[in-house]
């Protein structure tokens, strides 16, 4: 357990090293936040209370999206490039010899990364957004806490999906295609482009049931106070359910991969 705490701390510190890059990222998140906020204002001007949100809730949704884009790695950009490269080059053989669990090791590192991104890339855009627009910020500290729990679950679901994608490199060698499909799905079905409760009919039902809704839609709804009491427990259960299913699938795939696939030598 201590080992994984150290790995997580390492993941945090590693991303904290790139200060200029973080600043540049915050700038870009803020610019996109402004652009999207104005398009949402136009949309909610036309149809107030669209999707059950009022204007300030819709604007809060925009800035939550910018704040969580990196934290929940909706466009990828976590550990998966590195793991795929290790599988491709055969370095993975060394990793499998280590007295640490492969999945837990990478998850610890990714949780550390997410923690840094929440602080480094999340807070400043949110504050700037709140200064420029009238946002619906929760008054109760419990809602903030409930939100953080939901974000943490979202990060685990995001990790579990990306771990599966990365393991595909055992069979595909070049996982660029699989990774691209994964981040496309992540971007669209997390609700990053448009809240999922605006998706019409069956598309909406499917999108809300897929794991990616755990990345933004669910945490955002927790933040906006949509869930209370047992509904909140239900939202957590939805996220945790996907996390468990996907982590187990990752585990299964890992054992198949390590047993059946011949590691690339070099």
Q: Interface with other proteins by CB under 8 A: which residues?
A: 18, 20-21, 23-25, 27-28, 31-32, 34-35, 38-39, 41-43, 46-47, 50, 174, 176-177, 180-181, 184, 187-188, 193-194, 198-200
Nearest to 220 by CA among 76, 58, 71: 58
Burial class (CB within 10 angstroms; exposed 0-12, middle 13-18, buried 19+) of 101: middle
Cβ at position 151, least distance to other proteins in Å: 22
Query: Which residue has tokens 């794991």?
Result: 211
Q: Which is nearer to other proteins, 43 or 119 (CB)?
A: 43
Query: Six-digit token pair at 81?
Result: 């490039």
Cβ at position 18, least distance to other proteins in Å: 6
Q: Which is nearer to other proteins, 119 or 198 (CB)?
A: 198
Q: Which is nearer to other proteins, 18 or 144 (CB)?
A: 18
CA–CA separation, 74 and 230 (whole Å): 28
Cβ at position 173, least distance to other proteins in Å: 10
Cβ at position 105, least distance to other proteins in Å: 27
Is residue 159 within 8 Å of 78, Cβ to Cβ? yes
Q: Which is nearer to other proteins, 37 or 92 (CB)?
A: 37
Cβ at position 238, least distance to other proteins in Å: 23
Q: Which is nearer to other proteins, 69 or 222 (CB)?
A: 69
Q: What share of the chain is helix, strand, coil (3-state, %, to 5)?
A: 75, 0, 25
Cβ at position 193, least distance to other proteins in Å: 4
Which residues fall within 8 angstroms of residue 114, CB to CB, at 6 or more apart?
Answer: 71, 72, 73, 78, 155
Is residue 150 within 8 Å of 236, Cβ to Cβ? yes
Q: Which is nearer to other proteins, 25 or 112 (CB)?
A: 25
Cβ at position 94, least distance to other proteins in Å: 24
Q: Which is nearer to other proteins, 50 or 93 (CB)?
A: 50
Q: What is the dihedral of CA 220, 225, 229, 231, to 10 degrees?
A: -50
CA–CA separation, 18 and 8 (whole Å): 17
CA–CA separation, 50 and 198 (whole Å): 7
């Amino acid at each position: 357990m201590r080992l994984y705490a150290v790995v997580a701390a390492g993941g945090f510190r590693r991303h904290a090293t790139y200060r200029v890059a973080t600043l540049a990222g915050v700038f870009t998140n803020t610019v996109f936040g402004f652009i999207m906020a104005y398009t949402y204002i136009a949309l909610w001007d036309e149809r107030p209370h669209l999707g059950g949100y009022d204007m300030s809730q819709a604007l809060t949704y925009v800035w939550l999206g910018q704040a969580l884009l990196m934290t929940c790695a909706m466009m990828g950009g976590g550990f998966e490039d590195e793991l795929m490269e290790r599988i491709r080059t055969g370095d993975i053989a060394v990793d499998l010899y280590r007295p640490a669990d492969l999945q837990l090791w990478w998850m610890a590192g990714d949780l550390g990364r997410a923690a840094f991104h929440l602080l480094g890339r999340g807070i400043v855009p949110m504050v700037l957004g709140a200064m420029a627009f009238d946002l619906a910020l929760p008054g109760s500290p419990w809602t903030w806490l409930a939100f953080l729990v939901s974000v943490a679950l979202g990060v685990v679901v995001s990790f579990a999906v990306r771990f599966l994608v990365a393991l595909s490199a055992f069979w595909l060698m070049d996982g660029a295609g699989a990774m691209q499909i994964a981040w496309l799905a992540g971007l669209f079905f997390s609700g990053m482009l448009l809240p999922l409760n605006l998706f019409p009919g069956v598309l909406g039902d499917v999108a809300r049931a897929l794991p990616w809704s755990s990345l933004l839609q669910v945490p955002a709804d927790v933040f906006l106070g949509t869930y209370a009491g047992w509904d909140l427990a239900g939202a957590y259960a939805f996220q945790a359910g996907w996390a468990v299913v996907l982590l187990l699938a990752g585990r299964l795939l890992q054992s198949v991969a390590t047993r059946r696939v011949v590691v690339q030598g070099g």
